[in-house]
Chain A
Amino acid sequence: MKELSSRLALRSILVSYLFILVIMPISAVYLKGFSLGWDPFWKEITGIIAWKAIILTLKLSILTTFIQAFLGTFIAFVLVRYKFWGRRWLNSLIDLPFSLPTAVSGLMLLTLLGPTSPFGKWLESFGISLLYNESAIVIGMIFITLPFVIRTVQPMIEQLDPFEEQASFILGAGKAFTFFKITLPAVFPGIIAGSMLTFSRSLAEFGAISLISGNLPGKTQVASVYIYGEIENYNTQGAAAVSVVLITFSLVVLLLANFLQKWKGRTI
């Protein structure tokens, strides 16, 4: 009897913990966003600056996701399939953007792309500037999201049945044909899942981007920086309204990724 009640107590604590930590805060954002009703919410997010920030963030996140889907899949294949000197070491380095504080990442990119660094000077000699514009934001997003596609695709490549590829060769198919018809489709769910993580992380990123984007309202200001600005200006309702848009997007993507993961688990 005593054991039962202590279990019950533990469970209530855990449930309330989840409630306080996750459900309450998220509902708070939605409540605040809609606190004045639908029209002010709509007005907040369609305000010219907020709207442009949302569109910019979406646009660049999608671009980053596509780049990362290709780049990450490519790197994952090279790291799994080819044995070369330093591979293990490179492989551990992939997680650096995850373990690095985002503010530090931002500072790194700021320095590298800035006019004082040799690299920045070299770029400048070609008339290329990668700071305080959209390309800077994309670079920041790519840096931050580098591990996602690689880390979801890698284990899937490792678990591939090597005999499937061999069967394809024996049936007369060449290397490229086999790769695109047999290998790639088999890891495709992983690419999608990793890309969705990439997308939602790109939407969310603040630290690495705020230092290098220049934050020009309406031009290079991303949604998270806009939200930060509104918080600083004590416009929590405006911040919450844009937050609602971002969270909703991420949530949908996250649910899709979860679903895909399960679907993948069922077929294989």
Chain B
Amino acid sequence: MHIEVKDLEKKFGSFIAIQKASFKIQKGHLVGLLGPSGGGKTSLLRMLAGLEQPDSGEIFFNGNLANSLSIQAREIGFVFQNYALFKHMTVFENIAYGLKVKKQKASVIKERVFHLLQIMGLEGIEKKYPHQLSGGQRQRVAFARALAPEPQLLLLDEPFAAIDAKIRKELRIWLRNLINEFGVTTIFVTHDQDEAIEVADEIIIVQKGRIEQQGSPWEIYNQPSSSFVASFIGESNSLASPISLQGFPDLPRYFRGEDRNSEVKVYIRPEWIEIRTENKYYLASASEPAVVSHVHFRGDSWFIEFQLTNGTKLFTYQSIKEHFLKVGDQINILIHQLIVFTPSETRVLENRSKIDPMPVFI
């Protein structure tokens, strides 16, 4: 199902939970809804499902206005954060519920339920009650129940929140395959950005009731449209005070102007920073000298914090295969790119000196 949302607004009393939200989702896409707690993710899902009525704005399903469509008629599958399994029903009855409502024949129901049980790897537990299941099993039953009536749109509110970190990673891939198989348009809410980046075709970032950005994981990560997105997704060094860096002659320009200073932000992702211990003079005009101020082992990499000569502190990660650094070591820093946000524009700046004098190898 193709989804379009236009200028959606929702208030709870005088509190504005969703503000002028607009987005489109293509049929069959898997979209991750990401954002800080209280941002309005659940409210958006609930409005799509018809569990809340928007105060203004429109929702279109396949191009048809859906605002006044009843909950029952929307053909949606919803997996609640706490799963909301029917406690007094067995697994079988839970999954069969949506089909029973549609007055399907008992033989059809049975076949479909057992098919789903098999896909979900839940064979043999159909006679158990929800309280006799493990967290992961409950979650899969909730999925099966939502998928049984063949919904047009699947909404998942933090489906993995109650599951421990290790199994979550497995479930992500499982979810991806499941959705591919069913080909159903899916929106899933998550707090875990790795999860969203890994699984989703598209990511929508919601903050304070507003849609901050919609785009592919690559776009969201590398071309954040606001400083909020840049700081929310991935890790960044953030510089707020005016500085000059080698290779970025334009940088001070952004800090000029009267009262702009406070609203200008510069972000440098750790992977945009290269640490060089030898070859200090290679690309000298593009790099900065620095002193290592903190070293920390992270398992698969080193966390390195260092100080530039102008006092700015930055951090990055270095592979454990690289040269071992100690606090106080003199190093040479090459910043490949950075991103600048001003109230009026967002710019990704490349290191100019890197290309200018001589060809580079990266």
Contact = CB atoms under 8 A, between A and B. Distances in A.
A and B touching (Cβ–Cβ under 8 A): yes
Interface of A: 161, 163-164, 166-174, 177, 181-182, 185-186, 188, 267-268
B88 A169 contact: no
Interface of B: 49-51, 71-72, 74-78, 80, 82, 84-88, 97-98, 101-102, 129, 131, 145-146, 149
A215 B263 CA distance: 89
Contacts of B80: 163, 166-167
B78 A170 contact: yes
Nearest to A173: B101
A171 B145 contact: yes
B84 A163 contact: yes
Given A161-B82, A166-B51, A173-B72, A185 B98 contact: no
A166 to B, nearest CB: 6
Given A172-B149, A173-B101, 7 more contacts: A167-B80, A170-B71, A170-B78, A171-B98, A172-B72, A173-B72, A173-B97
A216 to B, nearest CB: 46
A171 B97 contact: yes
Contact of A171 (B87, B88, B101, B131): B101
A267 B97 contact: no
Contacts of A163: 80, 82, 84
B101 A267 contact: no
A186 B101 CA distance: 18
A267 B51 contact: no
Contact of A182 (B75, B82, B86, B149): B86
Contacts of B129: 267
Contacts of B146: 170-171
A108 B215 CA distance: 73
A174 B86 contact: no
23 contacts: A161-B84, A164-B84, A164-B85, A164-B87, A166-B51, A166-B71, A167-B84, A167-B145, A170-B49, A170-B50, A170-B71, A170-B72, A170-B76, A170-B78, A171-B97, A172-B72, A172-B75, A173-B72, A174-B72, A267-B129, A267-B131, A268-B87, A268-B131
Contacts of A185: 88
Nearest to B51: A166
B72 A164 contact: no
A182 B78 CA distance: 17
Nearest to A182: B86
A192 B51 CA distance: 32
Contacts of A166: 51, 71, 78, 80, 84
Contact of B97 (A168, A174, A188): A168
Contacts of B76: 170
Contacts of B51: 166, 169-170
B98 A172 contact: yes
Nearest to A168: B97
A100 to B, nearest CB: 36
A171 B129 CA distance: 19
A181 B85 CA distance: 13
Contacts of A169: 51, 71-72
Contacts of B87: 161, 164, 186, 267-268
**Which 7 residue pairs spanning A and B have beta carbons closest together?**
A163-B84, A171-B98, A172-B101, A169-B71, A167-B84, A173-B101, A163-B80
A182 B97 CA distance: 10
Contacts of A186: 87-88
Interface centre among B51, B82, B86 (most CB of A within 10 A): B86
B100 to A, nearest CB: 9
